[in-house]
Structure 1
Amino acid sequence: MTRRYNFCAGPAALPTPVLERAREEMLDYRGHGLSVMEMSHRSPEFEAIAGAAEANLRTLLQIPDNYRVLFMQGGATMQFACVPLNLLGGGGTPNYLDTGIWSGKAIKEADHLAGSHLAATSRASGYVDVPRNDAIALSADAAYLHYCHNETIGGLAYDYTPDVAVPLVCDMSSSILSTPLDVSRYGVIYAGAQKNIGPAGLTLVIVRDDLLGQALPRTPSLLDWKVYADNASMINTPPTYAWYLAGLVFEWLRDDVGGIEAMATINRRKAATLYGAIDASDFYSNPIAPVNRSLMNVPFVLADEALNNTFLDEAEAAGLLNLKGHRSVGGMRASLYNAVTEQAVDALVAFMGDFERRHG
């Protein structure tokens, strides 16, 4: 079997060593005689899996002791509702930064539940850059400030951490674990798993202790962070196999890669290789301000859009999968998550060069 190169934005590529380890343990997890998928989430075996996953994540991200790590379901999209539900029990207005489609969806959900204040937006530029810190104007009663660190669809990323006097809440679905992160700067970080953490079906939430127990009275128990914190994320049956696979990814990052800083060095090289090829060409282009270019999601367009389908067909034939851009922006998009190898990026750049020579 020959595995092809997967540039999907999510569910994304998983590290080959993780898949091989999961294959080895599929029928018999470490001599226990059954699969992780068949284990009770209350069993000592799965509790050990869950505990090791959290411990390794805490080590990788250097998560302070006054933060709780929650393993939830529902995707990051469910957290669009969980954030206002959990943080507005003491009053105040949700504040948001708008940098594209995913931050816009979070704003829409907050408006539906409680209303919101737009603290800054890059709409006027066409979402090719992010608002600067001095442009952020919080409401007088701001309960928190929410932003999306990396807009998966637009390929736009923050080059700084907003500095505000209210709890900072961040959607890091497509950038968590890709570069070092100072968790102490944030009140809440959340991320869907299907980019850099593991398979779809799991959502990671990192929340500071003092922000627990502030939920609105109408908050359903399955959306209440404190309920999860008080029950070790097992208020109901969790997505056990996704949790297990996430734990294997954390081990891979720690042992095979050498930690987050080592991963960041690799990611910077991958992105530089692809952006360099785009910038050196008149055939391909990327619209994002260089300082805000994402390391994880690289959109690009062809000078002749009539060649889009040909590009995608030939790319797939060459073993380069899932390069079609999101339907809302068109063009192409290569997602370079942690599990996407430098070999994959080199293969993509070589194909792009050959395609340009033949069709440019």
Structure 2
Amino acid sequence: MTSLLLSVIYLTFVSLGLPDSLLGSAWPVMYPELGAPVAAQSALSMLISACTIVSSLATAKLVRRWGTGRLVAASVGLTAAAILGFSACKEFWQLVALAIPYGLGAGAIDSSLNNYVAIHYGARHMSWLHCCWGVGTSVGPVAMGWALAGPVSWHGGYLVIGIAQALITAVLVCSLPLWKNGPGEKDVGESAAGNAAGDAAEELGYGELLRLPGAGASIASFGCYSALESSCGLWIASLLVLARGVAEAQAASMVALFYVGITAGRFLAGVVADRVAGPQMIRIGQGVIAAGLAALISGGRDATALSVAIALIGLGCAPIYPSIVALTPSRFGEAASQGMVSLQMACAYAGSTFFPPVCALVVGAGGAALLPWLYVAVLAAMSVLAELANSRCRAV
């Protein structure tokens, strides 16, 4: 039963990744048809991120009330409905309206499942969970590319992914008895204090959580990591084209190496996670990112050197996100775990929302060549905060 439930959790994280890269893939075709300016993509992405922050912060209370299984099934259903709605949109305002349920559903899935796996399955499965997200983000653009190449256009791409999400929702509804009988899940109807982690104690409020030793540093380091990962994915292609003379099509292919590095790295991190401590995994990842950034800065216009640099940055990113989450129960206790994961997710979404526009301003001012140095600064801040979290949590 436990293995079957874990398979359902993996499938759910594939579903979380499926729509993440659709908007960027389809936007060049979408915005003229919808009569929207090209820059409207950023506004739509920021709205989705804002909604994920809201739902992440609400997840701890929702888990206590509904349990993880019911919350995840409802949230995937909400995202499925939103994505199916995207496929039928004729005007931009309709996309804006549907972005709200999509963001709310995605944030709850991310926060609740990360905490559940951190408590019940550990670092190995946490890494593989995020590897599944990478699989989803890789499949999404393939489906959209197929749709754009045929008569169904972007509407068909969203329809295919929406149907896949609806089918996964059905799987989750059928799996609810597994969650009830799985590790730590209580019947919410039998216990007012029951929650997915199986904790008897009520979780701490956010004010109390922020006062825990190392909490602020841990949350802020997560925000720095997400700022780095998201901005690399969005702006490395612009760096290659504008500052290194790489052709647009080749630059797009080279950026794919960043995501390949993340996905492959998370699989490998899962293999060694039981033998390497979480803080050490984070340090290794930061060291590999530093090597990748050094290669990116010194790579000049050599396509091979630049490709290796981009792959190294992705490989270095791979263990950091899952390791921070996996450390949360041991650092702060299970009673505080869901709330801390929710705060970390909210800060992560904030980092991925607000740092890429800073990069956009730099690129717009003709400073694309400065991007790697911005990434170096964010990496340095993340490294200092991660070590501060380690030291403060050990001192407890």
**TM-score surpassing 0.5?**
no
The TM-score normalised by the length of structure 1 is 0.29
Q: When you count helix as a share of all residues, which structure comes out higher? A: 2
